[in-house]
Structure 1
Amino acid sequence: MSSRIVVKIGSSSLTTEEGGLDRDSIAFFAGEIAALMQNGHEVLLVTSGAVAAGFREIGYVHRPKLLHEKQAAAAVGQALLMQAYQQAFAAHRVTTAQILLTRTDFHSRKRMGNAGMTVEELLKQGVIPIFNENDTVSVDELKFGDNDLLSALVANLVKAQHLVILTDTNGLYTADPRKDPSATRYDRITEITAEIYAYAGGSGSSVGTGVCALRSMQPK
């Protein structure tokens, strides 16, 4: 049975620890998503990675911390990121489309209505919409929540049946398993309590923010 799926991929899954794109990883994800599409599913991709992809290209040694530096890195990295996706999906005869959004876009019924119609037409034509935050014009923090919140909002906008968030950690643990060998992994979470929310820590790499998406996915 076909379904509509929103997939979010974090920076650490798309880039190297030193910065720059991991082309092999992007090719792998493109192949997996293309296989879903070939099986009749409608897939929308929410991607991070623009800042991580661009900061070395622009000349920074480390991921920048100042807002204008992040925006400059994102301006370079976004073009590189989309080029990599375009090439990776083209190998599977899938066309890509870029959709850049800001937090304020979701406050406008008209903007979201237009965005929704655009997405529906892209899906109708077999194109995969690739969403990211429009970092270069953002005046708030350079994140929806490492795009976790953005993916939840997109899933709601398009009435998706599934939201899949891919990370470099294979689940939620009671502690960081890389630091605490006694950490226990949860197989299923049915209710997000204060205790559960506290288990989600920060970034495990230098290229992503690692902000927890639990709050954005909490049932109303």
Structure 2
Amino acid sequence: MKTRREHLENAKTIVIKVGTSTLTYENGLLNFDRIEKLVRQLSDLHNQGKNVILVTSGAIGVGATKLGLKVKPQTIPEKQAAAAIGQGILLHIYEKFFSEYSQIVAQILLTKDDITNKTRYNNAKNSFNELLRHGVIPIVNENDAIAIHEIKVGDNDTLSALVATIIDADLLILLSDIDGLYDSDPHSNKTAKLLTYIPEITEEIESYAGISKSKLGTGGMATKLKAAKISTKNGVSMIIANGSNDTIIKDIISNKEVGTLFVGKNKGGEL
């Protein structure tokens, strides 16, 4: 059985999912300082010889702000319009920051069909592999500008787990506004324990899903556990960590005691 250190330090291909709560202030506007620091960490990770894939939320929120909407888009057309505007803005911001560290980025927008349809799945896999071969950092989001309910993955926690599976990643990092999975509510119980190493997702572990709650975005702890099940089943270890920590990526890779690590099974079915 691999140690936590081995799972983290030996990871070659790493998917990082960043949630809305990490990218924005509570008023919904982008936190440029945090985005820049995240980009710097990912660029440094890439310079260490790692394959880096970023799954980002925030397009609908950015688009809604640009349109001057006072309330969050509710209808599908409203969300599609906001996403179409916001995705371009978001990519431009990422491209600007990444270029300062001499990194090349590419946009990949996916729908559920790209994962469930074998031909489209293989096309997506080939695209990812070719970009990584050229040292490019793919920036991934769901294609909300055209997606309707029937073809939506639904949340980027799940999307990132599916992306990690497509590219046969070694590690998936979910960044949110929570430190990880606790055995009780840390807001009401000062003795709540952060679970740092989970070799198997048991019923007891699943029962903790309603305890640790994220404030923003579509992905609460339940969706994160769903992502953990998908990724670990397919041999990808996954860690939940707090994106408000400006050195969180470095801390994770250097095996500091941060976040909750769910251990992926290898191809032989062992941990």
Aligned residues of 1:46 and 1:151 also touching (Cα < 8 A): yes
State whether residues 158 and 227 of structure 2, in contact with CA within 8 Å, keep that contact through their aligned partners in structure 1: yes
Deviations 1:124-151 (A, max 9, x none): 2111001100011111179635311111
Indicate conservation of the 8 Å contact 1:21/1:81, yes or no: no
Pick aligned residue for 1:205 from 202, 211, 215: 215
The answer to whether the Cα contact below 8 Å between 2:11 and 2:171 also exists between their aligned partners in 1 is: no
Q: Residue 57 of structure 1 aligns with which residue?
A: 66
CA contact (8 A) 1:96 1:130 kept: yes
5+ residue gaps, structure 2: 1-9, 234-271
Aligned equivalents of 2:29 and 2:44: distance in 1? Answer: 26
Give the 3 Å change call, closer, same or farther, for CA 78–160 of structure 1 in structure 2.
same
Alignment CA distance shift 1:2-1:171 (3 Å): closer
Match for residue 215 of structure 1 among 226, 232, 242: 226
Contact 2:184 2:208 in 1 (8 A): yes
Structure 1, gaps ≥5 residues long? none
> CA 1:199/1:143 → structure 2, altered by over 3 Å: closer, same or farther?
farther
AA aligned to 1:193 is T
Is the 1:122–1:129 contact (alpha carbons within 8 Å) kept by the matching residues of 2? yes
Normalising by structure 1, we get a TM-score of: 0.90
The normalised TM-score by structure 2 is: 0.74
Separation in 2, partners of 1:75, 1:105: 19
Distance 1:161 1:58, change over 3 A: same
The equivalent of 2:115 in structure 1 is 106
**Over 6 Å off, 4+ runs:** none
Backbone CA RMSD of aligned residues? 2.1
Give the match for residue 242 of structure 2: none
The DSSP-based 3-state class of the residue aligned with 2:65 is coil
AA partner of residue 38 (structure 1): N
Question: 2: distance between equivalents of 1:72 and 1:118?
Answer: 26
SS at match of 1:29: helix
Query: Using a 3 Å threshold, how does the CA distance of structure 1 residues 105 and 92 change in structure 2: closer, same or farther?
Result: same
What are the Cα deviations for residues 50-82 of structure 1, in whole angstroms up to 9, with x where unaligned? 112221211211322333222222122111110
For residues 142 and 20 of structure 1, what CA distance do their matches in structure 2 show?
A: 28
Report the residue type matching 2:148 in the other structure.
Answer: V
